[in-house]
């Protein structure tokens, strides 16, 4: 995991990309980014991760990811669902549906990786 620290601290821009902050309900939600999860997965060792869009319905796009620690044989599957309707109830165009699906897959990837790698390492 030392390689993860080296990678994250290579530049200020890389370090900043390893977290996210979103306004929700008047508060700020902070957490580890998809980029950090990718760095951790690459350096954790003997880990396999897969993410894909699993379903597109009239109202939602679903994505799933599986992270598998091959050394301990511990695997986690995570599903993420995102709405594909605007505030007026109109369905997004195909390009936005694809973008939303890819974003959902990235979030599923992050969540799966961070559930497999022990928190003592990721915090």
**CATH number given to 2-122:** 3.30.390
What is the model's pLDDT at position 119?
84
What is the model's pLDDT at position 10?
66
Taking 3-state DSSP, the helix, strand and coil percentages for the chain, each rounded to the nearest 5, stand at: 40, 35, 25
Share above pLDDT 90 across residues of the chain, in percent, rounded to a whole number: 62
pLDDT reading at 49 higher than 80? yes
Under the banding of pLDDT at 50, 70 and 90, the label for residue 86 is: very high
Backbone phi and psi for residue 84, each to the nearest 5 degrees, phi listed first: -120, 35
- Give pTM, 2 decimals: 0.86
Task: Return the H-helix or E-strand segment holding 71.
Answer: none
For range 90-99, the mean pLDDT: 97
pLDDT reading at 100 higher than 60? yes
* More confident position, 120 or 96: 96
For range 68-94, the mean pLDDT: 96
SS3 77: strand
């Amino acid at each position: 995991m030392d390689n993860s620290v080296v990678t994250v601290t290579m530049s200020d821009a890389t370090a900043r990309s390893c977290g996210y902050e979103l306004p929700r309900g008047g508060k700020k939600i902070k957490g580890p980014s998809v980029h950090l999860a990718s760095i951790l997965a690459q350096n954790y060792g003997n880990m396999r991760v897969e993410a894909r869009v699993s379903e597109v319905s009239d109202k939602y796009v679903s994505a799933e990811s599986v992270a598998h620690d091959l050394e301990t044989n511990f695997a986690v599957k995570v599903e993420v669902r995102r709405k594909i309707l605007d505030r007026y109830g109109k369905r997004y165009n195909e390009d936005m549906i694809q973008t939303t699906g890819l974003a959902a897959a990235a979030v599923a990837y992050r969540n799966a990786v961070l559930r497999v790698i022990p928190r003592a390492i990721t915090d």
